[in-house]
Structure 1
């Protein structure tokens, strides 16, 4: 679910459709009945009129709000389901990721009806989600094997192959009193059962751009079991990352907030330039197993909206909905539940705040979309 809420709310559907709504009146504007040939997974606006959709049919499509009878163009390059779209406003490069493990950049400055130039930027196994920080200085990638990758000083004009990027050596942070922790280690292509003998050492003379850090964030109560990071979001001010994860046994789900801790290493390649500290968490309902639930930050970053069974929960860092920087605990603490809303007849899978209004949208497995205007 995505949209420029001041003009249109767009909804990606499990079938081949994209729905468009007027967010103010809740009126259904249009249905793109054959937007793709398989499930539509994600929508991203490039500006106030141009948006991109991606699908399990392995393609990305560009659309213009002024002419929705046909696509602007279709983009071919992925070999499996395309799950994520990001946009670098600095270079005007569209960035996509899919279950083929590839992150691909597309030069939208030069698109035609036949597509646009593209190249593979990065590859890793078990890729789930990819995000850019608001200033596009970092790329975060989550994996189903429990890794969280961070590419620092991001330069999307370079293509990275295994071993051709600079890696940052491990540092583990101590456990907090309740068992929360954050850890990191260096690696080549992350995978389960990674053998340290397979790690590609950093090569001399490399540019400091696109330095790779691989983290294995642990979840409260999950210290002895692996986890799958299914949903990944960034704080709108770039202060933290928000993840939804499930245990490998799929019997628990957690929402966790990790604060970015910036700092130059004492020696090159010895300490991570950025480690993540687990600051807040909450256990989820674990309803609708096998489906990914997408959570989101409010535009000011004070609230988190999380799918919770047949409804949504509004979560905050403290009871006053304070800023994250004013609510950083000494030890890991629980997120505060501000409000629960149950308005669906099926499991809620996605949530999205309006960037301009006090408005929230949610979508459930049966395809129903609900719009809310929170009042406190």
Structure 2
């Protein structure tokens, strides 16, 4: 039977028609669009069928339901609650079967199942706890290592490692199969200022992080064993500032190799493209597609007036023509013609020094014979720029969200402050070179480097780049074009200075939608359906179901002829059945079931239902 006949029958019969069942029994392939029609008929009929709250069951108050997690077989549902407890439900009967009061000494933030019987929880008390569903009277163990609220837990089936992240900016791995007298064997594998969430793809081949600076960071070909060594000293916020300013920052540029498309493991990529009108600042929620195709995030705009949910492509692109563009910053203005003079002697590379805190006292420039008024004015401008002052104001979104997003976010500004001082320093040196005072550049640079704590790091030996399609059209940045002191050409090629590039990011945005801006300061955990066709997003005192198109199509088909970012489609009416702000939602991995939780502590189950609701 042809496709035309199939489309006629598909339009004539419903998703559960005898004709469709007969074709499936005899072994015929489903007609084109059958899966979309079935998904739409199920998801558009989602209705509330049951609910639970501590008030109805005469239990201790639970506070807000911050996270919901199903067991791998979908039989159990665990709720992480604000008032230090976890609630466990039977998914099919919707009855509470166990309560653990005082699971932590502060609110519980996240739940993650490691297998069918063991799960982990994390809390604002900076600890992670392991539990066994067969004996919940006592936790298996507590993991100590974080220094601030722990917000996220992931588990790598490939490496058998637990991965946790918190508002201290650190990501830790825990070997749950190791035992010691005090704690499990663990390692801090990465640190980034302003880290909010850390997620792993289902096959643990990718790690995606989001920050309070409106940035998504992807680690392709993830190797948790060598991640700490490969990314040691890398600061995403500083590298991003170098990209936006188009000004070379030596401390950041030395990590250019992490973006190389030819890296076999732990390759870095930035995502920073958002829809028009969305000046993303705090990316607070993050989820990965069930097949690892895309990342779903929710962010708060810089002006704190709007929230957006976005879907970005995260699949690795191995082709050279798709690799990240490397562009040099604009070269410094050529100095006016003057008589040839001997170039200044280049000193030995100074080792990198840890930047001093912002309360560093700026030393005065001693008066020297022959110092021009221009040099003194330039030095005065630099002292004004580098003078101790209050840290930059925390964005309104982060400030309002302090009770939930973190206690002290002042560390977010540290690496950006360092980079901004370096940019001002280089631009000043370029201006001096353009005015014919390049012979004083090195002394000025040396004094500034000591004062700000940012000294040019020692040149690192880099492998010679291979001539390919990606690198033939790229021009490197030499020291003379980045504001550094020029030097005479060396006859020995192996002594040439290391060439740096500024990587530019590819556009990854696929779909987006603007959300309601209610409940400022609380993280709203959105989620994918088990088949990845639908997105459930908290919406005020309810939630709404969003699809990529009106047919509830899969992502792979929706982006075949992709022409640009498009808004997501609301496949049904918004469902609001809570009395307070909804902050969590979760689809069952096995059944067409959806659960939502709110700040009041109420949990509501939704299922496809036709007829009178039982709610």
TM-score computed with the length of structure 1 as normaliser: 0.87
Which one of the candidate residues 254, 260, 273 is aligned to 1:217? 273
* CA displacement at 1:72 relative to structure 2: 0.2
Q: 1:82 to 1:321 in 2, by over 3 A?
A: same
Aligned partners of 2:275, 2:314: CA distance in 1, in Å? 16
Q: Does 1:369 align with 2:603?
A: yes
1:40 aligns with 2:108: yes
8 Å Cα contact 1:74-1:114 kept in structure 2: no
Shift, 1:164, TM fit: 4.0
Partner of 1:330: 563
Answering whether residue 311 of structure 2 is matched by residue 257 of structure 1, we say yes
Q: Does residue 232 of the first structure (1) align with residue 286 of the second (2)?
A: yes
Residues 52-102 of structure 1, C-alpha deviations (whole Å, 9 max, x = no match): 000000000000000000000000000000000000001110000000000
**Counterpart in the other structure of 1:199:** 252
Q: Which has the higher contact order (CA 8 A, sep 6+)?
A: 2
**CA shift for structure 1 position 330:** 1.4
Q: Which stretch has the larger CA shift, 195-204 or 148-157?
A: 195-204
Query: Do 1:106 and 1:116's aligned partners in 2 also have CA atoms closer than 8 Å?
Result: yes
CA contact (8 A) 1:81 1:99 kept: yes
Contact between 1:7 and 1:22, CA under 8 Å: does it hold in 2? yes
What secondary structure does 1:218 align onto? coil
Q: Which residue of 2 aligns with 1:189?
A: 236
CA RMSD of aligned residues (A): 2.5
Q: Distance in 2 between matches of 1:251 and 1:350?
A: 21
Which residue number corresponds to residue 79 of structure 1? 147
What's the counterpart of residue 226 of structure 2?
158
Match of 1:299 in 2: 530
Query: 1:203–1:277: structure 2 CA closer, same or farther, 3 Å change rule?
Result: closer
Are residues 299 and 274 of structure 1, via their aligned partners in 2, closer, same or farther at CA, if it must alter by over 3 Å?
A: farther
Whether 1:243 and 2:297 are equivalent positions in the alignment is yes
User: CA-to-partner distance for each residue in 1:174-197, whole Å, 9 max, x for gaps?
Assistant: xxxxxxxxxxxxx73325983441
- Cα deviation, residue 342, structure 1: 0.9
* TM-score normalised according to structure 2 size: 0.54
- What CA distance in whole angstroms lies between the structure 2 residues aligned with 1:137 and 1:233? 15
Query: Is 2:337 aligned against 1:284?
Result: no
Runs of 5+ unmatched residues, structure 2: 1-67, 243-247, 327-502, 611-615
Residue 140 of structure 1 pairs with residue 212 of structure 2: no
Between the two proteins, the alignment pairs up a number of residues equal to 353
Contact kept, 8 Å, 2:78 with 2:88, in 1: the verdict is yes
* Contact preservation (8 Å) 1:134, 1:236: yes
**8 Å contact from structure 1 (residues 231, 245) kept in 2:** yes
Counterpart of 1:316 (choices 536, 540, 547) is 547
State the SS of the aligned residue for 2:556: helix
Whether the aligned pair in 1 keeps the contact of 2:271 and 2:505 (CA below 8 Å) is no
Q: Which has the higher helix share?
A: 2
Cα 1:113/1:13, change in 2 over 3 Å: farther
Structure 2 distance, partners of 1:47, 1:126, is 31
Cα separation, 2, equivalents of 1:343 and 1:143: 32
Q: Which residue of 2 aligns with 1:357?
A: 591
Tell me the residue number matched to 2:456: none
Q: Any idea what the Cα deviations from partners look like across 1:294-353, whole Å, max 9, x if unmatched? A: 100001000100000000101101111111111124122111101221110000001100
Cross-structure match for 1:99: 167
Q: CA deviation at 1:262?
A: 3.3
| Structure (1 or 2) with the greater strand fraction | 1
Q: Aligned match of 1:344 in 561, 567, 578?
A: 578
CA contact (8 A) 1:262 1:275 kept: no
Aligned-residue offset at 1:279: 1.6
